[in-house]
Amino acid sequence: MIQDQLGKKLQGIGEEVGMRLVALLLLSLGRLSIAAPDSMPVHLSSAETEVVLQAGREQPSLAALALKGGTSWQNKRSESLIGYVEINGETQPLHWRFSPAASRTSSTGVIFVYDSGTPHLRLSWEWRVRAAHGPLEHSIKIDNLSGNKIWIPLEDSIGFEWRIPRDVNLEQFWVEKGAGQPSDEGTHRVNVTQGYQWAGESSTYAHPRAGQQREIIPWMLVESQGGAEFGWYLGVEFSGRTRISLERVGDSLRVGAGLNPIPSPYRTKLAPGESFETPPVFLGTSRGGPDGAGNVLRRWVRDALNNQEAIQRPTYPLLVNNSWGAGMQIDETVARHMIRDSAELGFEMFHVDAGWFRGVGDWYPDPTKFPHGLRPIADYAHQLGLKFGLWMDWTQAAFDTRPGALNVNDSKVRGWLISDPPAGWKPEEFKGLTVDIGVGAAHDWAARAVNRVVDDYRLDMLEHDGYLVAQGCDRADHPHAPANPGNLRRYQDMGFIWVESSNSTDVSYHATQAYYDIQSRLRKQHPGLLLEVCNDGGRMVDFGSAAHCDYFSITDAYDPLSNRRAFYDASFVLPPAMLESYVERRPSPRIENFLYMLRSGMMGWFTLMLDTTTLTSPQRTATRESLALYKSKLRPLIREADLYHVSPRPNGKIWDGIEYFDPARGHGVLFAFHGSDPGEKNHWFALRGLTSGHSYQLTFEGGSSDGQKVSGKDLMQKGVQVYLPLPNSSELVFFEELD
């Protein structure tokens, strides 16, 4: 009867919204060991990806995933729903029952609802179509409708098991965060052989350790090896501690994603009326390898996750001059010089980095450096047509005692800290002790502090840096689970205090939600305000922060090779306009070397971090011309064009390159870099994404070759030849489709 009711309900809604329902037998569900179906399967799709969803009596399941016009993957198991809760220290089993009456479905989303009678909980298993193109999004919410405080174990965001014939060759692809400095590998392609087991982790602050796998940008692609390059990818939209796992056993490919269960056991507390939500994940299909997947995914991130208010403005991404060229020595005089010079060279924003404040946690201008405060500095930038941005690490407490400062010895603040300061602890110049914004009062303090700073100093951009979002805490009276003394570890690293225990994932779960709330409020209070995620360079680069910031610093090393490597890796999955490179001064005996340095950071968001008043006259001319070229020709491509990795990952010695091509406008550019090896003076780059039968006009920006007309077929098969005899030099090759 329930089945009939839901069938009718879905059919009714399906007819209304044009949704397609198919007969059970189309699915060959008989072969699948999933829970007994309690409804007709539901199809949900974007232009590329289709999922088949099935409400079983006790569990829902993702029955199948299909690449439109291509292949499909069948799931052997239902979603695992948590099987018990703890109440007053007693374990109580849960019995979930599908609720057709509470379930909803439309062409843009499906929610299958399951209820548990005693204790009364409700679980909503949801899929969403966020944009016409791209992956589909999924999450699970558990509401505590009982009158009791309960503890629940870990509910994964997603788990499935594709049936894959043993003789099919598979390849997995993933990329590391550029945390600190990109590693020598960065981008991984691995054969998924029998017995393969892998897990990739991400957190709010990646601090790589020698000999250990680095954190990933939480996403992976699995595709058939060679041949058609059909594949699927899975990503996590959350900045807290998460993991994605992959295992191949027999004819099964087991996949899981969600909060990181390690260190175990995970548990989280739900007061009456509270809810737990799994980190959203997205699942998409692809063809054409990692760049084929990326060209759909990057657009989806722009359409579904990015702040449209920011990215639709024609100056996004902005050209930025950052004060760190003067380091902590920034003051009013230096800032005014830099602002004047920024405007003269054609920058669009002046960004005051660390060094402006009275002390860590005391986010007011240092009166000895800025006797008139920051507002006149912002006003001066605005008068000269520049935006004004500011650095802050708004969860750090230290020793300042002036009103408004976060002081670790203030008993209220002490209670918010992730741990007591160890004996003899001292803050660094711009690093303190992290407060846990998962605590309501700490969240409220931080929300007020950032709002005041944006208002008082007339900011157009606020950058946050350092260890901002807690992912470990030893306090027993915070909303997260308490630490387990059996696996509690405290240590210092990177100038910060760290705590690790089995509650770490729950700490990060609460703090990340509080962080998202603060960022969202700021955007509402200040429409148009830009938000930069720095976090000591490339340590919180993920899809959750992509939805709550406008751009990322992608590494903390600012040399040309590190900048190109970090960009090469992150640009597989994130919109290049969001990927910020800080460019610092490098030895540049020739102007070609100087341009190589600039362009290595000009493939996405460009921030210069050197005191431009010290540039030589030819360097000033090169900077001015490069910024003008960025605005007129590069930025339109960086904002919207497809991107192709047309070389192996940069190693600094041989050649490397990135291609942009916008099929709608028929424009493209090749960034070509010649590394330190003087041997190879010419290099061929095979372009991608062009039309074979069309011809293209090539223009070599640096004049390394004469302009020429070449067919798309030749450019894609033979390639374009770039001649750069000097080591550490570069060229931009523009190409334009002719009628």
Where does this chain bind Zn ion (CB under 5 A)? 436, 473, 475, 478
442 CB burial (10 A radius; 0-12, 13-18, 19+): buried
Q: Which residue is nearest to Zn ion (CB)?
A: 473
369 or 475: whose CB is closer to Zn ion? 475
Nearest distance, CB of residue 276 and Zn ion, angstroms: 17
499 or 715: whose CB is closer to Zn ion? 499
Nearest distance, CB of residue 689 and Zn ion, angstroms: 48
Residue 161 to residue 249: CA distance in whole angstroms: 10
Residue 378 to residue 634: CA distance in whole angstroms: 28
192 and 248 Cβ atoms separated by less than 8 Å: yes
509 or 568: whose CB is closer to Zn ion? 509
Tokens of 694: 């069309």
274 or 366: whose CB is closer to Zn ion? 274
483 or 530: whose CB is closer to Zn ion? 483
482 or 689: whose CB is closer to Zn ion? 482
E strands, 16-169, are 42-45, 49-55, 60-67, 72-74, 84-87, 90-93, 96-98, 104-106, 109-116, 121-128, 136-144, 150-152, 158-163
Nearest distance, CB of residue 392 and Zn ion, angstroms: 21
Nearest distance, CB of residue 473 and Zn ion, angstroms: 3
* Helical ranges in 183-331 per DSSP H: 289-300, 308-311
Tokens of 266: 């995970």
Nearest distance, CB of residue 265 and Zn ion, angstroms: 18
C-alpha count within 13 angstroms, C-beta hemisphere, residue 334: 22
C-alpha count within 13 angstroms, C-beta hemisphere, residue 391: 26
473 or 497: whose CB is closer to Zn ion? 473
Which residues on neighbouring strands pair with residue 163, listed in sequence order? 252
| Rg (the chain; Cα; Å) | 27
**Kindly report the CA angle at 96 between 92 and 101, in degrees rounded to 5?**
140
Q: Tell me the pairing of strands 242-249 and 197-202.
A: antiparallel
123 or 473: whose CB is closer to Zn ion? 473
302 or 478: whose CB is closer to Zn ion? 478
Residue 181 to residue 49: CA distance in whole angstroms: 35
Q: Sign of torsion, CA 462 465 470 475?
A: negative
Give me the torsion for CA of 642, 647, 651, 655, rounded to 10°: -110
Nearest distance, CB of residue 435 and Zn ion, angstroms: 9
- Nearest to residue 612, comparing CAs of 319, 334, 338, 328? 338
Nearest distance, CB of residue 505 and Zn ion, angstroms: 12
Nearest distance, CB of residue 690 and Zn ion, angstroms: 53
Nearest distance, CB of residue 416 and Zn ion, angstroms: 8
Nearest distance, CB of residue 418 and Zn ion, angstroms: 6
351 or 478: whose CB is closer to Zn ion? 478
348 and 319 Cβ atoms separated by less than 8 Å: yes
Note the maximum CA span of the chain. Answer: 82
Residue 33 to residue 491: CA distance in whole angstroms: 47
311 or 473: whose CB is closer to Zn ion? 473
156 and 278 Cβ atoms separated by less than 8 Å: yes
Nearest distance, CB of residue 472 and Zn ion, angstroms: 8
Instruction: List phi, psi (to 5°) of 467.
Output: -90, 90
Nearest distance, CB of residue 438 and Zn ion, angstroms: 6
502 or 623: whose CB is closer to Zn ion? 502
